[in-house]
Amino acid sequence: MNKPCIFCEIAAGRMNAEIVHEDEHVVAFRDIHPQAPMHVLIIPRKHISSMLEIAPEDAELLGHMHLTARKLARDLGIAEGGYRSIFNCGTDAGQTVWHIHLHLMGGRSMGWPPWPGN
């Protein structure tokens, strides 16, 4: 039997998370392993396993995720100094949960390339 998707469980309210935003399309919550002083994950309520699985009809949802990131960056006080937003796709990119999620990170200077420590 397949294990339930942890992000689907959070989106449905069946698993606890420190939620900072939710609407009919997305839920945003603080990452439990933050890589920056401010690290929030923005997930769609719709289950999409990977960026490889997105379809043309998901374009509006992906745009909504980015607009939510912009709003949260302002609300959480990281917009002025700058922030990073990232989708990881696949294990080599660091994807560990198979439900797309947009990382919103800020609150410190970040180098490039985004190796550990940057």
Helix (H, G, I), strand (E, B), or coil: what is residue 59?
helix
Rounded Cα–Cα distance for residues 87 and 48 (Å): 13
Output the pTM of the full model: 0.94
Q: Which token pair is 71?
A: 């709003």
Give the active site residue among 25, 64, 99, 101: 101
Examine the residue annotation and report whether 39 is marked as an active-site residue of this protein: no
Q: What is the pLDDT of residues 68-96, one digit of tens each?
A: 999 999 999 999 999 999 999 999 999 99
pLDDT tens digits in sequence order for the chain, 118 residues long: 467 899 999 999 999 999 999 999 999 999 999 999 999 999 999 999 999 999 999 999 999 999 999 999 999 999 999 999 999 999 999 999 999 999 999 999 998 887 666 5
Beta-bridge partner residues of 30: 40
Beta-bridge partner residues of 44: 26
Rounded Cα–Cα distance for residues 8 and 5 (Å): 5
